């Protein structure tokens, strides 16, 4: 009988410690992304918080990603950013018809849109080697956080 009581107490303590991240403040960030003056039709924008600890519930996420569709993105609600400094990485995709055709032949037919192979087409200076920075301040949503990428 004592073992059941101790396991019950241990379980209650374990669950009491879970889910504490709900008090983390997340700030909405949205805007547009253009490359060479034209909207990026299909891509992703990633906000990387270098060196942020992730072991505590109140720590900022190491990275947040939002899809770019028709030149617009939104990292909002539970997908928002914690206040802090970020490096911004942007990718744009083109469909790779050669790779998609090879995959379709292997599978015996046309691929659904979700399985079409995409190729990242932006120079590394906008993603892997990005020097673009963003500072998110507590309680200050950024709804016109726009990027106009030029080479």
CA distances from 67 to 43, 76, 109, 137 (A): 6, 12, 28, 22
Q: How many CB atoms lie under 10 A from the CB of residue 90? A: 20
Separation of first and last alpha carbons in the chain? 72
Helix%, strand%, coil% for the chain, nearest 5: 25, 35, 40
Contact predicate 39/15, CB 8 Å: no
pLDDT score at 43: 97
pLDDT digits (tens, 9 = 90+) for 48-96: 987 654 444 445 456 899 999 999 999 999 999 999 999 999 999 997 6
pLDDT score at 46: 96
Q: Judge residue 15's burial from the number of C-beta atoms within 10 Å of its C-beta, 0-12 exposed, 13-18 middle, 19 or more buried.
A: exposed
């Amino acid at each position: 009988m004592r073992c059941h009581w101790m396991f019950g107490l241990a379980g209650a303590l374990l669950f009491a410690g879970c889910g504490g991240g709900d008090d983390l403040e997340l700030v909405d960030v949205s805007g547009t992304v253009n490359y060479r003056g034209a909207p990026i039709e299909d891509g992703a924008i990633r906000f990387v918080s270098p060196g942020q600890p992730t072991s505590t519930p109140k720590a900022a996420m190491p990275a947040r990603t939002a899809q770019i569709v028709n030149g617009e993105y939104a990292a909002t609600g539970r997908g928002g950013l914690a206040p802090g400094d970020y490096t911004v990485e942007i990718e744009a995709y083109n469909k790779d018809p050669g790779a998609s055709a090879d995959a379709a032949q292997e599978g015996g037919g046309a691929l659904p849109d979700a399985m079409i192979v995409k190729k990242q087409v932006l120079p590394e200076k906008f993603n892997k080697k990005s020097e673009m920075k963003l500072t998110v301040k507590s309680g200050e949503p950024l709804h016109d956080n726009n990027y106009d990428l030029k080479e």
